[in-house]
């Protein structure tokens, strides 16, 4: 029983130290903090974010954590939920694609809330975030659960519980119980991402993050959880119908001294350049390139998008994708996203406003947009996230563009200035350039910070 996956995860979590991380990992964590805070402040006024903030603000705590954009300290699990909603809602935070897709920066809300509540240092926060990325991405590599009706955020209960346990400095036994508690009540249904999408699409991981914090808090106080949570007769693998294989071997301690070092999976993840579901990013880029070749978009008669299986299954097959009535459906619609990129010549928050995605002219155009599976592109996935876009013009010409690695992909990464540029575009309209630059500067110095208090105060939105 001492060799279960939960035991190994706990051992890894307790052993990991800031000094073990490579410079590249530390730098990448800071980039993701900047990116996530930009997403959160950019979405601050969106309806589900307002709802989550309102509910969380009804509670206070002596050892609480700051709800982003306010000076209110709520219990850390509620703060993780409210902040997680904001980070995730625009569907603009980072991505990891494997057997199961993920948005691993979703973990940051739980890590930030726990770091503030526990009074931990910036280096400790960086370590916990790298740990969370490592855990979630390794789980995504091990098994796909969406085909069986379970949502990818299910893995997030484990990654956030471990990150929080690390920040709380729990010993291996209590860390294992945090994992057990997280797992026994953390399975999320995939219904959140099929059919007509709702607010819940953007808040599902925030719920997992809240549960991860809550599990660690209970374990810290001495609560025990059932094990073996993964291998047991009624455990995770049996209930979800998957095998996690040799996942425990990926968390070997002592750490190997080769390659990119421990907790380096973050280096294989990708930042979004456009605010839409990740499988559409290369289609957006292709459409924007085509837009430069077309003098008059009104001359476009039809569009065909060749894509890989994961893209078609997730964002390009349901009837709702051709007649989106909610933002959640629009930013998860391959035909809409690609078409609007071609028509408008940009993809920003404006393209996901109701008056745009419900425009009868747009719906009429979508009647002539087709999505087709391409076996070659499917074979390249998830190493490449390719789309081929064809545009048929009134004069009989067909224009074609293919993009395999969209801007921001791990193999085509954004420069630091581009990460900052994305942050400023989201934040400056709300708080001004001077305050936005201060937040970025604090994030770049996170590895020197004695706590996160100054950073959280800098995020307060004007009334």
Average pLDDT, the chain: 96
Q: Domain coordinates of the chain in residue numbers?
A: 5-273+438-458, 278-403
Rounded Cα distance, 367 and 349, in Å: 23
The residue count of the chain comes to 463
Tens-digit pLDDT profile for residues 393-423: 999 999 999 999 999 999 999 999 999 999 9
Statement: residue 206 has pLDDT above 80: yes
Residue 317 CB neighbour total at 10 angstroms: 15
Rounded Cα distance, 45 and 52, in Å: 11
pLDDT at 349: 87
| SS3 category, 130 | helix
Cα three-residue angle 291-351-356, rounded to 5 degrees: 105
Nearest to 331, CA basis, from 199, 226, 430: 199
CATH of the domain spanning 278-403: 3.30.1330.120
Rounded Cα distance, 119 and 63, in Å: 9
Q: How far is CA 346 from the centre of its chain?
A: 22
What is the third-level CATH fold of 5-273+438-458? 2-methylcitrate dehydratase PrpD (1.10.4100)
Q: With bands split at pLDDT 50, 70 and 90, how would you rate the model's confidence at 3? A: confident
Instruction: Confirm if 173 and 7 have CB atoms less than 8 A apart.
Output: no
Tens-digit pLDDT profile for residues 341-400: 999 999 998 999 999 999 999 999 999 999 999 999 999 999 999 999 999 999 999 999
pLDDT at 2: 62
pTM over 0.75: yes
Tens-digit pLDDT profile for residues 76-96: 999 999 999 999 998 899 999
Statement: residue 1 has pLDDT above 60: no
């Amino acid at each position: 029983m001492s060799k279960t996956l939960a035991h190994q995860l706990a051992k890894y979590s307790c052993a990991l130290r800031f000094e073990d991380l490579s410079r590249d990992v530390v730098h990448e964590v800071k980039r993701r903090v900047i990116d996530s805070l930009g997403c959160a402040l950019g979405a601050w006024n969106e309806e589900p974010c307002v709802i989550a903030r309102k509910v969380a603000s009804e509670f206070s705590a002596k050892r609480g954590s700051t709800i982003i954009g306010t000076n209110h300290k709520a219990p850390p699990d509620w703060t993780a939920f409210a902040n997680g909603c904001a980070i995730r809602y625009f569907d603009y935070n980072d991505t990891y694609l494997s057997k199961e897709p993920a948005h691993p920066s979703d973990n940051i809300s739980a890590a930030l809330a726990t770091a503030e509540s526990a009074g931990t240092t910036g280096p400790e926060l960086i370590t916990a975030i790298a740990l969370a990325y490592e855990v979630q991405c390794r789980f995504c590599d091990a098994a796909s659960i969406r085909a069986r009706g379970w949502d990818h955020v299910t893995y997030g209960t484990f990654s956030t519980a471990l990150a929080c346990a690390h920040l709380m400095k729990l010993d291996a036994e209590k860390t294992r119980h945090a994992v057990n508690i997280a797992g026994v009540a953390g399975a999320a249904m995939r219904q959140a991402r099929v059919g007509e999408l709702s607010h819940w699409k953007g808040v599902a991981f925030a719920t997992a993050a809240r549960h991860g914090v809550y599990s660690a808090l209970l374990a810290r106080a001495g609560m025990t959880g059932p094990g073996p949570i993964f291998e047991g007769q009624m455990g995770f693998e049996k209930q979800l119908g998957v095998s996690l294989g040799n996942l425990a071997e990926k968390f070997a301690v002592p750490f190997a001294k080769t390659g990119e070092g421990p907790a380096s999976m973050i280096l294989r993840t990708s930042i979004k350049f456009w605010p839409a579901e990740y499988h559409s990013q290369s289609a957006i880029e292709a459409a924007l390139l085509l837009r430069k070749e077309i003098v008059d978009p009104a001359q476009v008669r039809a569009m065909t998008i060749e894509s890989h299986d994961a893209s078609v299954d997730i964002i390009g097959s349901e009837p709702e994708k051709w007649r989106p009535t909610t933002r959640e459906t629009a930013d998860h619609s391959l035909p809409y996203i690609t078409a609007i990129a071609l028509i408008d010549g940009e993809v920003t928050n404006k393209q996901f406003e109701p008056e745009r995605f419900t425009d009868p002219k747009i719906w009429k155009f979508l009647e002539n947009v087709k999505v087709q599976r391409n076996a070659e592109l499917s074979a390249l996935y998830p190493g490449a996230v390719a789309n081929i876009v064809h545009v048929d013009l009134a004069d009989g010409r067909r224009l074609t563009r293919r993009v395999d690695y969209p801007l921001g992909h791990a193999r085509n990464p954004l420069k630091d200035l581009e990460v900052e540029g994305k942050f400023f575009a989201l934040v400056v309209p709300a708080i001004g350039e001077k305050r936005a630059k201060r937040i970025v500067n604090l994030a770049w110095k996170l590895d020197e910070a004695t706590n996160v208090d100054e950073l959280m105060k800098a995020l307060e939105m004007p009334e």
